[in-house]
Structure 1
Amino acid sequence: MPYCNYARDRSGDLDSLGYPKPSKTIVSEGLVLVNTFEETFGDIYDSGKGIWSQLTEIGSYSLPRRVVALASFSGERRFFACTGLFIEWNGCTPILTSASLVRDPKDGNKIAEKLKIEVLLPNNKYKEGELQYCNLHYNVALVVVKDFRCLRPVRTHEDWRNPLILEDSNVVAAGRCFKSGRLMATHGRLTAWSGVLDYRDLRYSSCKITKAGIGRPLIDFKGRFVGMNFYDKKIGTPFLFRDCIIRVLAHFKENGTVEVGGGKPIRWPVPIPCWRHPDDELKDSRPPGYGGKSGRFGFTYVDGDRVDNH
């Protein structure tokens, strides 16, 4: 399994954010809380530095108005948190995000029941969201916000099948934290890696993100939509390419929400919050072959294993 509990992990009663509460033993052993939804990455938008100074004017202006944070709640306890993107679709402006927001952790083929969804809008106001459509197989969901319409949504059908979108392998990943509202972005390159997730249509980039970036958009430096990101703490960042997303949206229009049902489900694992020793966490986050000498032609990853090119 790509993520599991280790001997030095600690978990127990959960707080309102869904995190295990610390104990005297945890403090005395010097453990730290990892895999939270509040961990930032890349450059913060307010700083105006780093990647924000490299994006085109369209990209740096539009992203803050399109990217939102979402959280689902079971009673008073937070269930999941992720990033979403306003898109133009079917005459409205729903939020495109990851279906992990509503996936039942005990049965990956089902949507969890009685969840409340809250959305942190670009104006830093919280509003109730409603799950409109969901496809657990592709891990894609659409959420709508009542009495709110984004004025600058992403037009996913623009430049459909435009090969120029991938003319440059440099890409940007953006995300927003639900609790703090911080907007973040980092850059990387498209890669030929194949990670541990078992869905073949996934592509990978070298963007380094955290759990706060799940469901976040991947764009190029001109602000054009490339895909939606998921999370892999070891090997790059997996994302679903825009062509596949558009096919899912067309399926929503024809068939509505689709649950996976019987059969072997596709795994979309997300590491759970836990208390760990810093050394164990650092070792676990390194991909196979980390630090090894690279051959003349470099290396890649296939099915989660490092392969040297010859």
Structure 2
Amino acid sequence: MKPLRDSIANAKVRHLHFDQTIKATVSQITFAVPGTVLALVGPTRVGKSTAIRAAAKQVYPRTKDGYIPYVIVDCSRTDAGFMSMRYLTLDLLGQLEHPFYGASSGKSRVSQTETNARLALRRAVKYRETKLIIVDEAHHLLRIKNSGGREAALESLKCLGNETGAVIVLVGSYELLKGCFCSAHFNGRLTLIEFPRYGTSDLQMKQFESILATFDQLLPWAKDNSLLSMSDLVYDGTLGSCGLVTSWVLAALGKMDASGATRLRKEHFRNVRYLQQIDAIASEINYGENVLRPVEKEGHGKDASSTSSTDERGVGRKFRRLKPGRRNPARDSISRPKVVP
């Protein structure tokens, strides 16, 4: 079963959203000025980590001795389940092969203060001529102990880009967006890139089904069973995310093997995916897709000076944003003159 597992896990499929995301990321990195922050966001398991690695290799295909053009570090929750900027800084120093802070230095990571590590990181980035700092699983930056920590963590990374001239790339789920908009100053440096799922239009579904057809050729199906024959079920269970197709196929193969069967059937898929799982993923996707709405073009019927709001019943209403010092026209109330005896 291991060769089958490896063939599924490493399957090469024609994934148009993957190719388009790499192209968009390469272009944004290429045109980014020093100190820019890029955020690559999308649904869970859509392929963001693989895409950012492929994009970085395209921008910086070759290296020379002592030169590290880009580094990639996972944003781990290392402080009693919370995110620690100190550990993130130390991990970056390790990736930059700093002689005093790397894994082979023999120094205790626990004893290093964040201030000293940050100063060392600034020098290491400049010494290694690092142009790109990639923080994967960046939505963990929102899990900071102290109040206001998420904004401080994001601002800290932005400042690192300013200090070193490196481009900062944050890679994470749509949850990351909950922290990205907390600061106007941060947004002034921010460019967003979305790695979307496959939608339900005819063209999108055709592309999604071509991915299913590729997996079908690798799987030991029982007669009259295939991913294509149950494409609606697969779409509902993966919400159009290619990475979730892979994980569901592997889970179904595990179920098949545990039951003693040698052929894959539809029931093997049904018994390893639960509605609660899909609801949680769908909720995050719904949030991200609603947030990522582009600026509307002129002439689309929306007054640029008006803003939408929603009342307690969820009914939308509009109000006009006035210039400072002005108010809506209204008739002043007439009062009776005071009679002086």
- TM-score by length of structure 2 reads 0.25
Max Rg structure: 2
- TM-score by length of structure 1 reads 0.27
Which protein is richer in strand relative to its size? Answer: 1
